[in-house]
Structure 1
């Protein structure tokens, strides 16, 4: 049984690495092959059954996106809010289950993620709303180290996204017991310093936690303590089981454990992590009450099978894998330590989960082990029981509940202040470059292999892979980052770096420095910038200028800086083996498109021309200036706008390859069709960052070698190609 469940889960999970999504007409041969395999090769049949199941489910959920003109115009939608993530009173995100589109009922009812920019308060969970919006398929910026929002959306069951600026109708959900209790709790904690922590740990409401709060928790490796999941549900189940066992009856103990676990999950709004924990708990209690023995491995596999059979897209959720692999690591500790003490258990968990943490977060906290050794017992034995007792007393005994809240406020305020001090003074979070992650992962695997019989023979292979990672790369490289509608270009010579423009920074707080630039620099092991060049003042070019200068050492500030060296034609710098030449503007300014800093970077044989947002007028004056414009790689001026890239300028540069830094489905229609047509007639190879993702080019003598020939990653990174062509994602 265990093998069958494992192979089914493996078949479903294989969709994580599918390079393309096969067309729907594959279902019949896949079904016939699956039936044949089940008769002759049982385990292979179960594997193919998992593949067939998520293949069918994906087409079923995505088919509504193929309606004519769905993504090219606005539509009237109506549906129910199933999750609300407010950031401020009038901004946030909603996950809405669509009931109708332009008055037509939908089946299945798809989930969509809608950014809220309305004038009133953001709708709450359970509300029914109607509005007008434009819908787009899941899409993610594609840069090494960046968060994959397309995969996250599918993991939440979301198959489209959009935004709202107002509502046609709004029907608030009837007030339920949980919402009434939450409102009372919010009123009781109004003005308390630790309010945000109390809300997160009791009701799972984490909207008030800031980015700085999450950075502190991540730095100490204790984020899981404020995400109500298996640890918290297991704690309450154990408490209820202990209380029930006082009756001397096993069924009362099981009932007590399940009752308290259900109560906490209900309080937390039955979030997905609590649902997974409840399912595993129910399986374990149910099997034990039936007098059967199932190993922890079987319970875990059965739980995964039930979850993936009901929601196959859970395989795209990081939370699902963190939960599953944390339990698997607990089971695996028996292989490492015979005695299951708290220290040995936590050490084994840190060691076994390290590869996953490196994969998901690009680093680890060296303070995680001691912090968890102290905080897990503190939360389990004191803070969580006190907090839940407070919620229980909130209605019948509000005075006593207020006293407990005052006590908890003092405890949490002091505790979180101490944790913030630790995070700031010790800097325990160690981000690792791709080389460092690979090296550490190999060392951990070699250590684990040393504990297995005969596995030490693999050590020479591990040492060879470590040496392979240290092999020197190209002399210099250019990475045109995928920053949506904006510009950021990273030029590197080994660990030395020049950044040209910084992408946008939005009023919501989302910015391209934290989401794209800094993760990429960390991936490359770059800790400082030799040059930070800002072409001009437009926010999509300079939005993160000051922030990057605060968080990174910067050697030279060049271009549109209040306190840097302005760009002016004729400036020339030697940067190791590369020559940096400013071709434009004629006078230092940087306040308008036509004053953009035009920078030519060359090694004597190969060149790249960075043009900012100059338009046809500046292009013509550049040509008349007689300065050297030729470059094998050109970033199209002004993102490929029709006001730029004049035929004369294109001929003067004579590029082999042009990159248009235009965002996916941008409202300006960049790059303009006429610009693309001009360059096609010139025989130039063209790429668009919004479609292709980050362009990574390496110098290869007298030509540029494109290292990523297509949009990287699995099929869900190219949903737009499937939508436009109704064909396999390839």
Structure 2
């Protein structure tokens, strides 16, 4: 049974690596193969069944994208609010279930993420409303170290995102019991400094936590304490068991444990980790009542199979894997008598590879801090919080003193944790090289403990040699920053950054989202040059923020107190020469004032052009400067106002990169521009389609590293939708 459960889950998890979404008709032969092999090859049959199920589920959930004309233009929609995620910057995010689009009923009802702007309060969970909206399929910026929003959206069951341009009508829902309790909680704790922490622990509502709070939780490795999961559900169930056993009946204790745990999970909003913990608890209690024994492994596999049978897209949810693998690690360490510190240390070591891969670093204080906080939460804080929540339901006035007591405990505790995170700096960002070496050392140590492990160690030593092999002399990375520009040029650990991408009213910015994670991944801790081509926000918006986050040796271009760009400037940077060809009279405020920089090692060159337009191109060519470069960034993101035939001839590139955002409203790169480059025989790439574009120097030509997008199927949904629409067509 364990083997079949494992391979069923593995079949569903295989969708993580599908290069494309197979045709829906493929489920029939796969199902036949699964049934035919059920007796002779049960593991293979279970794997095939998992593949069939996730394939059918994916097509069922995504079908509305191909059968409705929903993307890229304004639509009238009717929806029910499922979840509200308020933000401090005045922008709320709504997760809604669409019922109608342009008057057409939808089935299944797709989950959509919408941005709500403005001062008017957003609808609340349960409300129904009609609005004008613009939608787009899930899409993510594709850079090493960047957050994969397409995967995150599907992992939440969300198949489109968009924003509201006008609200037509709102029908408030009746306030449910959970909302009433949350309202009572807010009234009882409105003056408490630790209200946000108490709300996160009792209701699973973590929107009140600030970015500094999240940074502290990550730095100390204690985020799991505020994501209601196995620790909290198990503790509440234990309290229910003790209360039930006071009656003297074994079954009453089991029922009380399950009911109290289910009530707490309901109060917390049934998150993924909560669902897993509650389901495992229900299976275990059911087996106890039945008088049967299952191993922890079988209970975990059964829980995974049940959750994935209901929602196969949970495999795209990183929280699901963190929860499952943490339990698996605990089960692996559960044998024999182990002290708490040894158990915590073992858990930290087993989860170290996953934490490094997901968060790009490790915390040096995770083990000691958890050794203190886990007993504190288990024996004092969670029981007190549970008593306060029960009083909210039964006698609200008595809940306030308990919350005040909790506040007196939480306030100094959180202050101490913030102090630890700020002054001891326990979080260590690890480059991809450091992560690879740590993983290889761990695997090598494991291999040497196995019989004949020395033979397994040989390929690991070979991989270590590849990691230590010197890289190319210099590299160019054109980052995927949406509709904007940012280019990173590196010589080993030395770096030059040309432009910084944009930042938005929502708080999201390309420095935190793209540039800083990439620099950390590459092990780069400072910039030799930060060059800003001109003042437009899609080029310059993060200059001051980046300069505050890491040392910048030289500031060049559109800086208040930097060195302005001027034609004729030459700088030697390591083995490379920096040649500034434009502007002649700098001001930095217009497109035609953009810094035009040529970087060369004497044989190979890249030309960075900012947003110059045809008039500047003509003057630049007339100056008879050396513009030839094998790699060109098309001026102004491929706008029709730039990339004249004369410029293309003067540069004579082998490659051109258009830094145009996915589905941008200007239609960049323009069709006539692409036609001119094609006529000149130039290879063209677009960041919005290909993700980050990476070139490495190889003699007198550029070698493209990797092939960028398409990547897994969930990063190609826009192209998949268009292919399907051409075949199916919209419903009338």
TM-score over 0.5 for the pair: yes
Partner of 1:165: 165
Q: Which one of 660, 669, 679 corresponds to residue 662 of structure 1?
A: 660
**Aligned with 1:440: secondary structure?**
helix
> Is the Cα–Cα contact under 8 Å of residues 636 and 661 in structure 1 kept in the other structure?
yes
- Number of aligned positions between the proteins: 726
CA distance in 2, matches of 1:659, 1:597: 17
Partner of 2:567: 569
> Is the Cα–Cα contact under 8 Å of residues 533 and 557 in structure 1 kept in the other structure?
yes
> Is the Cα–Cα contact under 8 Å of residues 118 and 165 in structure 1 kept in the other structure?
no
**Aligned with 2:87: secondary structure?**
strand
The structural deviation recorded for 1:398 is 4.3
**Aligned with 2:213: secondary structure?**
helix
Counterpart check, 1:591 vs 2:589: yes
Partner of 2:730: none
The structural deviation recorded for 1:467 is 2.3
> Is the Cα–Cα contact under 8 Å of residues 533 and 588 in structure 2 kept in the other structure?
yes
Q: Which one of 419, 427, 441 corresponds to residue 429 of structure 1?
A: 427
Matches within 5 A, 1:20-169: 20-67=20-67, 69-88=69-88, 90-169=90-169
CA distance in 2, matches of 1:65, 1:294: 43
> Is the Cα–Cα contact under 8 Å of residues 574 and 580 in structure 1 kept in the other structure?
yes
Matches within 5 A, 1:297-696: 297-334=297-334, 338-394=336-392, 396-455=394-453, 457-696=455-694
Partner of 1:14: 14
**Aligned with 1:555: secondary structure?**
strand
Partner of 1:726: 724
The structural deviation recorded for 1:217 is 0.6
Structure-2 change in CA distance of 1:399 and 1:75 (3 Å): closer
CA distance in 2, matches of 1:413, 1:68: 51
**Aligned with 2:560: secondary structure?**
coil
CA distance in 1, matches of 2:710, 2:416: 42
Structure-2 change in CA distance of 1:711 and 1:395 (3 Å): closer
Q: Deviations over 1:640-679 (max 9, x none)?
A: 1111111211211111111111111111111111111111
Which deviates the most, 450-459 or 535-544? 450-459
CA distance in 2, matches of 1:248, 1:452: 50
Structure-2 change in CA distance of 1:710 and 1:396 (3 Å): closer
Task: Report the TM-score when normalising by structure 1.
Answer: 0.97
Counterpart check, 1:239 vs 2:248: no
Structure-2 change in CA distance of 1:238 and 1:446 (3 Å): farther
The structural deviation recorded for 1:519 is 0.7
**Aligned with 2:38: secondary structure?**
helix
**Aligned with 2:321: secondary structure?**
helix
CA distance in 1, matches of 2:558, 2:90: 33
CA distance in 2, matches of 1:443, 1:89: 44
The structural deviation recorded for 1:395 is 5.5
Structure-2 change in CA distance of 1:420 and 1:697 (3 Å): same
> Is the Cα–Cα contact under 8 Å of residues 118 and 166 in structure 1 kept in the other structure?
no
Q: Deviations over 1:225-253 (max 9, x none)?
A: 11112211111111211222233322111
Partner of 1:284: 284
Structure-2 change in CA distance of 1:454 and 1:342 (3 Å): farther
Q: Deviations over 1:691-714 (max 9, x none)?
A: 110001111111111112241531
Structure-2 change in CA distance of 1:58 and 1:213 (3 Å): same
> Is the Cα–Cα contact under 8 Å of residues 91 and 122 in structure 1 kept in the other structure?
no
The structural deviation recorded for 1:26 is 1.8
Which deviates the most, 273-282 or 492-501? 273-282
Q: Structure 2: state its 5+ residue gaps.
A: 727-732
The structural deviation recorded for 1:629 is 1.1
The structural deviation recorded for 1:399 is 4.5
Structure-2 change in CA distance of 1:141 and 1:183 (3 Å): same
Q: Structure 1: state its 5+ residue gaps.
A: none
> Is the Cα–Cα contact under 8 Å of residues 333 and 349 in structure 1 kept in the other structure?
yes
**Aligned with 1:61: secondary structure?**
helix
Which deviates the most, 424-433 or 130-139? 130-139
